[in-house]
Amino acid sequence: MEFSKTYTAKDEHIDFQNIMDGLYYPFYMEYCRHDYIKEVLGFDFEEEAKNGVNMVLSKYTLQFVRSLKKGDEFIVTCNLMVDKSNKSVLHFKQTILLNNKVVTKAVFSGTCVKAGGGRPFLPENLLQKLTGAPEWDGEL
């Protein structure tokens, strides 16, 4: 199931070339991904942190295809995938689209860790929601 949100490129994110600074693309993806994790997966970052469970990124790969400009209204998508070999890792395949054309594509990988340390894991309530999720094929 693809999840998406619409955003507008903020003036303060535009650089001297009149395009959005590359630093901000992952932030918009994060906003969408966090909404997906909370709204669809039911994982509330704040509540879980209070209970000693932190969801963290372990890696991401991002490819720029074209640039956003001041005032552009764009869509950010998020699709969940599971890892073939490591059941404690989630992958979020994301795109930024402008006029139905890919601007940026990325895969963000993450897991959960206890605030006090220990091995990466996924909480049981999260694992239950992963049934039927596609496996990540390693492609952006």
Residue 8 placed within a domain:
yes
Please report the pLDDT score of residue 139 as a whole number. 86
pLDDT at residue 137, as a whole number: 87
Q: Residue 135 domain-assigned?
A: no
Give the range of the structural domain holding residue 94, as residue numbers without chain letter.
3-130
Helix/strand/coil for 89 = coil
Q: What pLDDT was estimated at residue 26?
A: 97
Work out the average pLDDT over 25-46. Answer: 97
Pure H helices in 1-140: 25-39, 45-50, 124-127
The CATH number that applies at residue 62 is 3.10.129.10
Residue 136 belongs to some domain of the structure: no
Contact partners, residue 128, CB within 8 Å, separation at least 6? none
Mean pLDDT in the chain? 95
- The residues with which 111 forms a beta bridge, in sequence order, are 56
Q: Which of the four pLDDT bands, split at 50, 70 and 90, describes residue 12?
A: very high
**What local confidence, expressed as pLDDT, does residue 21 receive?**
96
Amino acid at 18: N
In a domain, 137, yes or no: no
Is the model's pLDDT at 80 over the cut of 90? yes
Sign of dihedral through CA atoms 26, 27, 29, 30?
Answer: positive
pLDDT, one tens digit per residue, over 38-72 is 999 999 999 999 999 999 999 999 999 999 999 99
Question: How far is it between the farthest Cα atoms of the chain?
Answer: 47
Note the pLDDT tens digit of each residue in 87-115: 899 999 999 999 999 999 999 999 999 99
Q: Residues near 92 by Cβ (< 8 Å), separated by ≥ 6? A: 33, 36, 78, 79, 80, 81, 107, 108, 109, 110
In a domain, 39, yes or no: yes
The number of folded domains in the chain is 1
Residue 56 lies in a domain: yes
